[in-house]
Chains A and B, each alone.
Chain A
Amino acid sequence: GENVEQHPSTLSVQEGDSAVIKCTYSDSASNYFPWYKQELGKGPQLIIDIRSNVGEKKDQRIAVTLNKTAKHFSLHITETQPEDSAVYFCAASGGSYIPTFGRGTSLIVHP
């Protein structure tokens, strides 16, 4: 089955800095790559996703890049704010649309 590795497990940045979270996947059949944000006491919430026919997608301060050849994808957050502090999960899925999640990155943005 699919295996998703996510790094780093913890990321601490100063407000205004950029943050990058990287993931790799194992199944070349995977074609959908969502990113979820989980705030304390809440369930994960989709923040951005990318499909395999696209190399990059942007939504305001958040961007995701995908390299299908290398089987890795990354989340980029620019101009970080304290409210960006949360746990971020990458995921990968194929035809079943059931995402396999990475282990999460705890992002801490210091004011």
Chain B
Amino acid sequence: DSGVTQTPKHLITATGQRVTLRCSPRSGDLSVYWYQQSLDQGLQFLIQYYNGEERAKGNILERFSAQQFPDLHSELNLSSLELGDSALYFCASSPPAGELFFGEGSRLTVL
């Protein structure tokens, strides 16, 4: 158990819909990262937050947004969903300059 909790584990929705994925980082970790894992693209970095502030942005679509709350949990919002958004979404947390600890992921299926 990495200590990172993600909900929901599985989510099935339709095109055009909006979903929210939630992540609770390890106790004490201020950094939260979101990655997308699909079969053809591997693990793609989406966005990083540090203590409530956006720190770095990767290949995140404009239809996607994220935030980190004062209690350090984070949410990834995916809107106007397309079939190609079906993937595993991972959250990770880390101490400063430390290794990433990944949650078990949220599997999104868009029908």
Contact = CB atoms under 8 A, between A and B. Distances in A.
A103 interface: yes
A110 to B, nearest CB: 23
A41 to B, nearest CB: 7
Interface residues of B, number: 23
Interface stretch (A20-28, A65-73, A74-82, A92-100): A92-100
Given A97-B94, A101-B42, A43 B102 contact: yes
A42 B107 CA distance: 11
Interface residues of A, number: 19
A101 B33 contact: no
B38 to A, nearest CB: 11
B78 interface: no
B43 A98 contact: no
A44 B104 contact: no
